[in-house]
């Protein structure tokens, strides 16, 4: 049973200037809460939160979560970490530190305040899965020493820390395993497949497919994902997770490229490049647990979500082309 949220809370969102964080903050403010947004702006952008500059219940603090933070809040959403391969491989040591030191610092804060804390984990904890679709009980197939390991293993270690704090200090934790999410405010050059394809199509360039394009992914629209995070945070104390949050509809990368070409009206073709190291061949969440515990299921179909995402990037093409 979900907890009632009738009073105004002061909520900390780390990584709040990022793609997911900024959408989460919009929802929390709309519900009447006070929000402290913390971000070091490595991948986050002030542009994502500039519409909130004059909001009376919004506060921004530039801070790196690998250093301790001393604030007073009622809840913590820990979203801080580069999430795209291009960004998290740029400085892999810092990526690991953000996941591990960041988790330690935010858990320490939650312990001091005796408040609940949600960890934004990832489907990457499953690695290149031997189980399909992936359930939360699956332990994963992760390379611990590859170029993606800074993110995959960093997030796995963060989950370990969350559950150890829960067992050792009786901390109220929530762990969400987030699958591929897309929508407005994605960074145009983050290297993720939806943003890559949309920007390439709008520019009239060929769409770059890595490998044969038969690897599969499932794509969750950002509004659905944010709804899942909030439902998880507000769930009964006994619900710790991990809980998969994603859209179980599965598409090959080639199918996605063809959809985006069609929906943009582009004349783009396809070009192929070698697959990145340790790129998983298939990824689809089993969301039975989210359905039974949270009453959650994504509602936005891929075609509708792509139309909204394309419209966002189309509105920013002059700016993108000028960079």
Q: What residues act catalytically?
A: 151
Note if the bond before 198 is cis, omega within 30 degrees.
no
| Cβ atoms < 10 Å from Cβ of 73 | 19
Q: Is 256 in contact with 193 (CB distance < 8 Å)?
A: yes
Structural element, H or E, at residue 194: helix 193-203
Cβ-Cβ contacts under 8 Å for 191 (sequence gap 6 or more): 84, 85, 86, 87
In whole angstroms, give the CA distance from residue 156 to residue 142. 10
In whole angstroms, give the CA distance from residue 314 to residue 323. 15
Identify the DSSP state of 174. Answer: E
In whole angstroms, give the CA distance from residue 50 to residue 54. 9
Helices and strands (H, E) in the chain, number of each type:
10, 13
Q: Is 15 in contact with 48 (CB distance < 8 Å)?
A: no
Q: At what angle do helices 253-264 and 302-315 cross, to 10 degrees?
A: 60
In whole angstroms, give the CA distance from residue 306 to residue 259. 9
3-state secondary structure of 4: coil
Q: Is 228 in contact with 176 (CB distance < 8 Å)?
A: yes
Structure tokens at 291: 């359905």
């Amino acid at each position: 049973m979900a907890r009632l949220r009738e009073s105004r809370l002061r909520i900390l969102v780390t990584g709040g200037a990022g793609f997911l964080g900024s959408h989460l903050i919009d929802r929390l403010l709309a519900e009447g809460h006070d929000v402290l947004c913390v971000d070091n702006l490595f991948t986050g952008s002030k542009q994502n939160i500039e519409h909130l500059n004059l909001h009376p219940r919004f506060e921004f603090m530039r801070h790196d979560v690998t250093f301790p933070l001393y604030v007073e809040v009622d809840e913590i959403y820990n979203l801080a970490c580069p999430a795209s391969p291009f960004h998290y491989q740029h400085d892999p040591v810092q990526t690991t530190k953000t996941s591990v030191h960041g988790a330690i610092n935010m858990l320490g804060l939650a312990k001091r305040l005796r408040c609940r804390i949600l960890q934004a984990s990832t489907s990457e904890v499953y690695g290149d899965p031997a189980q399909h679709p992936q359930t939360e009980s699956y332990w994963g197939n992760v390379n611990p020493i590859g170029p993606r390991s800074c993110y995959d293993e960093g997030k796995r270690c963060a989950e370990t820390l969350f559950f150890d704090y829960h067992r050792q200090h009786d901390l109220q934790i929530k762990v969400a395993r987030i699958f591929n999410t897309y929508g407005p405010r994605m960074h145009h050059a983050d290297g993720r497949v939806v943003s890559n394809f949309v920007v390439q199509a709008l520019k009239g360039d060929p769409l770059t497919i890595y490998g044969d394009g038969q690897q599969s992914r499932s794509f969750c629209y950002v509004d659905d994902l944010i709804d899942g995070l909030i439902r998880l945070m507000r769930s009964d104390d006994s619900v710790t997770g991990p809980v998969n949050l994603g859209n179980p509809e599965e598409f090959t990368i080639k199918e996605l490229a063809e959809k985006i070409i069609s929906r943009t009206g582009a004349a783009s073709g396809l070009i192929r490049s070698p697959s990145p190291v340790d790129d998983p061949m298939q990824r689809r969440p089993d969301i039975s647990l989210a359905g039974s515990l949270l009453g959650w299921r994504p509602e936005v179909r891929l075609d509708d979500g792509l139309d909204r995402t394309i419209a966002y990037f189309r509105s920013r093409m002059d700016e993108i082309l000028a960079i």
